[in-house]
């Protein structure tokens, strides 16, 4: 099986994934210029979280002087990676600031005032990584803060720590999205270092084969890779036909191996690991040169720039600074479109202070002529005519037109049936749609709503079980109580009816009490009449009072008993009725109750949701999009 795959690949034959599009590539704008090093910006803004997972714990405080490469956060769990100081300087603030995220969310960021010395922390250079054991290497990668640099930012060490047998290590150099040439240029300039990184991965994972997938629109990079891998039997440079989205993880796997990753499963379960080629370079830096991930190649492109080019940007560099370096002209006074990422999967940013992070491979500043649909603002959407062009291009072989209807109708069951969650957000459908329906937007909203619904369902399910349990408990208590009362009453009854001495005593006690009451009444009358005989009456009163008290107690007890008996009878009756009512009846009652509760809760939630719908949606979308990004390293 594997042999035949390799044979095919050696012959230059590949599989095909369904659909795909050929948007204008526009790579020439930046592909013919070397990667430029730019002067240090005055300030860097480092978000604590730049990857999928959780953020690390802060190691520094405001006012600290920091050196280049110094870790600023500490990772607390496997899914978090630290961030490092990209250059030396002083921490001026640690506060919330707008981050690179579609929602324009604010998250905790470290602000660094750059001192311009660029002085390094002490480094330990390791010339031969083979002397290190695997765990040390993985630790080095983890503590260098490396997360997938293709777009999703999945912590790299997690992928490397897994231990199943790996058949294929796939290096994703497809870079299929238009405009982006960051990987292309990096390969051309750093092919040796990249191959070193691949060797490190090989050492860690010992895969049977290593496949580098690269699209045929990068001839120079292909040449560089072929040159660098000439003597390595295990590595195959696979030149793939250019088609978007070849760089999607699932699509790349399909093209190279003919295998499909089962829906909801990870490639590693099929013995495949995909790493982005820029990540390989970062691994070399980390393991050999002890340089943490503090910079990356960013393509700054688009026709509103005077000098579009690739730049070695320090993480945390504000986008405005990069745009200035590329002579950004602002032609239109009202509208400015700046996209982080490519034109098909990137997101437009709302603030020029947004910093470059580990996953930012491109900053796109198109002109209005170049990308009119991005500037039009209002939607030009018209009715779907079911032309089916969307399903022709869908790489997941979905039916986008049907999804769209179900999404508009909020028919979540149908959406699940149509496999909405296999959509990778690649945007091919919306790109070709003649009715210009923003399909991906509809799917994102639907995905977010379904996720929310699922969370809610889980919650309500829990509440339901709790409620049921409580009901059963109450029922039990009730029957136990009734049983107890019944027994007690029976015992009393028996005692009363028997002419035992105690019973007689009780009767006589009652009679005595009645007598005492009468006496007391008489006495109280007397009391009113003869106030002069106080002293005598006082003693009498005391007697009377005590008898009165006991009398009252008795009375109360008797009436209580009578009431109890009545209640018991009533309860018995109701219980027998209840027993007669079979389970189904009670359960339907319960269900209707539950429904009411649920409906009320839903309405309340919906109201609450409406208020902060934007925030929430964006947040959930972030999660979903980042999840999808994970599948789609380096498109």
Partner 1 sequence: MAFWIASSPHNHNLNETSALMRLVIYAALPGILVQWYFFGWGNIIHISLAIITALVCEFTVLALRQKKIQPQLLDGSAILTAILLGICLPALAPWWISVIGTIFAIVIVKQLYGGLGHNLFNPAMAGYVMLLISFPLQMTSWQPPLSLMPMNVDFFHAISTIFTGFTPDGYSVEQLRTSADGFTMATPLDTLKTDLFLGLTVSESMTSPVFGDHFAVGWEWVNFAFLAGGLFLIIKKCIAWQTPVSFLFSLFICSFIAYTINPDNSASTMFHWFSGACMLGAFFILTDPVSGAASAKGRLIIGALAGLLVYLIREFGGYPDGVAFAILLCNMTAPLIDQFTRPRTYGHKRGET
Chain positions 372 to 431 lying near partner 1, rule: CB under 8 A, are 372-375, 377, 382-389, 391, 395-399, 401-402, 416-419, 422, 425, 427, 430-431
Interaction residues for partner 1, span 434-473 (CB under 8 A): 434-436, 438, 440-441, 444
Place of tokens 């948007």: 23
Per the CB < 8 A criterion, the answer to whether 375 and 399 are in contact is no
Minimum Å gap between C-beta 439 and partner 1 is 9
Interaction residues for partner 1, span 9-68 (CB under 8 A): 17-18, 21, 23-24
Query: b/e for 137-156, b at 16 or more Cβ within 10 A?
Result: bbebbbbbbbbbbbbbbbbb
Binding partner 1 by CB under 8 A: which of 101, 254, 296, 520? 254
Nearer to partner 1, 133 or 413 (CB): 413
DSSP string, 562-584: HHHHHHHHHHHHHHHHHHHS-HH
Minimum Å gap between C-beta 337 and partner 1 is 5
Residue 172 to residue 590: CA distance in whole angstroms: 55
Token pair for 449? 């709503």
**What are 116-122's contacts with CB under 8 Å, separation 24+?**
116/40, 117/88, 118/40, 118/68, 118/87, 118/88, 119/67, 119/68, 119/88, 120/67, 120/68, 120/69, 120/88, 121/67, 121/68, 121/69, 121/70, 121/85
Interaction residues for partner 1, span 297-356 (CB under 8 A): 330, 333-339, 341, 343-352
Q: Kindly write out the interface string for residues 265-304 of this chain, putting x where it contacts partner 1 by CB under 8 A and - elsewhere.
A: x---------------------------------------
First to last CA, the chain: 28
Nearer to partner 1, 12 or 264 (CB): 264
Applying CB under 8 A, does 250 fall inside the site for partner 1? yes
Nearer to partner 1, 278 or 424 (CB): 424
Nearer to partner 1, 369 or 599 (CB): 369
Interaction residues for partner 1, span 170-229 (CB under 8 A): 178
Nearer to partner 1, 197 or 400 (CB): 400
Nearer to partner 1, 47 or 346 (CB): 346
* Closest residue by Cα to residue 294 from 143, 117, 442: 143
Size of the site for partner 1 (CB under 8 A): 76
Nearer to partner 1, 410 or 417 (CB): 417
Nearer to partner 1, 399 or 575 (CB): 399
* Closest residue by Cα to residue 444 from 472, 415, 471, 402: 415
Q: Kindly write out the interface string for residues 88-107 of this chain, putting x where it contacts partner 1 by CB under 8 A and - elsewhere.
A: ----------------x---
Q: 295 forms bridges with which residues in the sheet?
A: 314
Strands 339-340 and 347-348, sheet pairing: antiparallel
Minimum Å gap between C-beta 438 and partner 1 is 6
Interaction residues for partner 1, span 516-575 (CB under 8 A): none
Interaction residues for partner 1, span 468-527 (CB under 8 A): none
Per the CB < 8 A criterion, the answer to whether 205 and 166 are in contact is yes
Minimum Å gap between C-beta 182 and partner 1 is 18
Q: Measured in whole angstroms, how far is the alpha carbon of residue 131 from the centre of its chain?
A: 39
Nearer to partner 1, 485 or 627 (CB): 627
Minimum Å gap between C-beta 90 and partner 1 is 30
Residue 115 to residue 118: CA distance in whole angstroms: 7
Minimum Å gap between C-beta 345 and partner 1 is 6
> What strands, in cross-sheet order, belong to the sheet with 209-215?
235-240, 209-215, 168-173, 272-276
Q: Is the dihedral of CA 311, 314, 319, 325 positive or negative?
A: negative
Interaction residues for partner 1, span 115-154 (CB under 8 A): none
Minimum Å gap between C-beta 29 and partner 1 is 14
Minimum Å gap between C-beta 424 and partner 1 is 9
Residue 360 to residue 337: CA distance in whole angstroms: 16
Per the CB < 8 A criterion, the answer to whether 312 and 283 are in contact is no
Nearer to partner 1, 221 or 428 (CB): 428
Minimum Å gap between C-beta 339 and partner 1 is 5
Minimum Å gap between C-beta 93 and partner 1 is 23
Minimum Å gap between C-beta 169 and partner 1 is 21
Token pair for 516? 């005492």
């Amino acid at each position: 099986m594997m042999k035949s795959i390799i044979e095919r690949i050696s012959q230059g034959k590949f599989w095909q994934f369904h659909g795909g599009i050929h948007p204008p590539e526009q790579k020439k704008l930046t592909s013919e210029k070397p990667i430029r090093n730019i002067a240090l910006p005055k300030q860097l803004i480092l978000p604590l979280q730049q990857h999928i997972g959780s953020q690390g714990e802060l190691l520094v405080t405001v006012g600290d002087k920091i050196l280049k490469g110094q870790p600023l956060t500490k990772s607390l769990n496997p899914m978090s990676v630290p961030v490092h100081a990209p250059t030396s300087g002083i921490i001026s603030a640690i506060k919330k600031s707008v981050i690179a995220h579609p929602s324009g969310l604010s998250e905790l960021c470290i602000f660094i005032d750059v001192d311009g010395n660029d002085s390094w922390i002490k480094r330990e250079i390791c010339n031969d990584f083979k002397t290190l054991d695997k765990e040390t290497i993985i630790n080095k990668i983890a503590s260098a803060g490396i997360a997938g640099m293709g777009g999703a930012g999945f912590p790299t060490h997690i992928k490397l720590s897994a231990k199943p047998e790996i058949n294929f290590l796939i290096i994703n150099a497809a870079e299929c999205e238009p405009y982006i040439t960051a990987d292309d240029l990096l390969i051309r300039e750093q092919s040796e270092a990249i191959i070193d990184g691949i060797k490190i991965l090989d050492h860690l994972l010992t895969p049977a084969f290593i496949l580098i997938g690269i699209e045929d629109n990068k001839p120079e990079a292909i040449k560089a890779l072929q040159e660098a891998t000439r003597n390595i039997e295990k590595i195959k440079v696979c030149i793939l036909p250019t088609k978007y989205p070849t760089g999607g993880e699932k699509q790349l796997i399909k093209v190279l191996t003919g295998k499909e990753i089962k829906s909801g499963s990870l490639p590693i379960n099929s013995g495949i690991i995909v790493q982005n080629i820029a990540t390989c370079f970062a691994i070399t830096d980390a393991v050999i040169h002890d340089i943490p991930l503090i910079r990356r190649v960013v393509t700054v492109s688009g026709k509103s720039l005077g000098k579009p080019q690739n730049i070695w940007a320090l993480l945390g560099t504000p986008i405005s600074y990069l745009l200035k370096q590329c002579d950004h002209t602002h032609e239109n006074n009202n509208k400015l479109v700046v996209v982080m990422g490519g034109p098909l999967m990137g997101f437009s940013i709302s603030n020029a202070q947004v910093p470059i992070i580990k996953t930012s491979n491109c900053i796109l500043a198109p002109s209005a002529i170049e990308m009119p649909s991005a500037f039009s603002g209002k939607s030009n959407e018209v009715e779907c005519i079911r032309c089916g062009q969307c399903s022709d291009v869908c790489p997941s072989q979905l039916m986008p037109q049907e999804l769209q209807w179900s999404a508009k109708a909020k028919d979540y069951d149908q959406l699940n049936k149509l496999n909405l969650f296999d959509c990778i957000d690649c945007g091919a459908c919306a790109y070709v749609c003649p009715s210009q329906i923003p399909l991906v937007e509809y799917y994102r909203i639907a995905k977010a709503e379904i996720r929310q619904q699922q969370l809610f369902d889980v919650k309500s399910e829990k509440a339901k079980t709790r409620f049921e349990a409580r009901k059963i408990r109450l029922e039990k208590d009730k029957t136990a109580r009734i049983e107890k009362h019944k027994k007690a009453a029976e015992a009393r009854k028996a005692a009363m009816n028997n002419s035992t001495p105690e019973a007689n005593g009780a009767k006589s006690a009652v009679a005595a009490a009645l007598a005492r009451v009468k006496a007391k009444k008489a006495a109280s009358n007397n009391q009113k009449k003869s106030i002069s005989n106080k002293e005598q009456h006082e003693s009498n009163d005391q007697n009377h009072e005590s008898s009165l008290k006991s009398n009252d107690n008795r009375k109360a007890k008797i009436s209580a008993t009578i009431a109890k008996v009545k209640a018991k009878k009533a309860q018995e009756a109701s219980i027998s009725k209840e027993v007669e009512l079979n389970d189904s009846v009670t359960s339907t009652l319960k269900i209707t109750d539950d429904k009411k509760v649920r409906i009320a809760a839903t309405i309340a939630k919906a109201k609450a949701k409406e208020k902060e719908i934007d925030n929430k949606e964006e947040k959930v979308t972030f999660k979903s999009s980042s999840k999808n990004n994970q599948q789609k390293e380096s498109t």
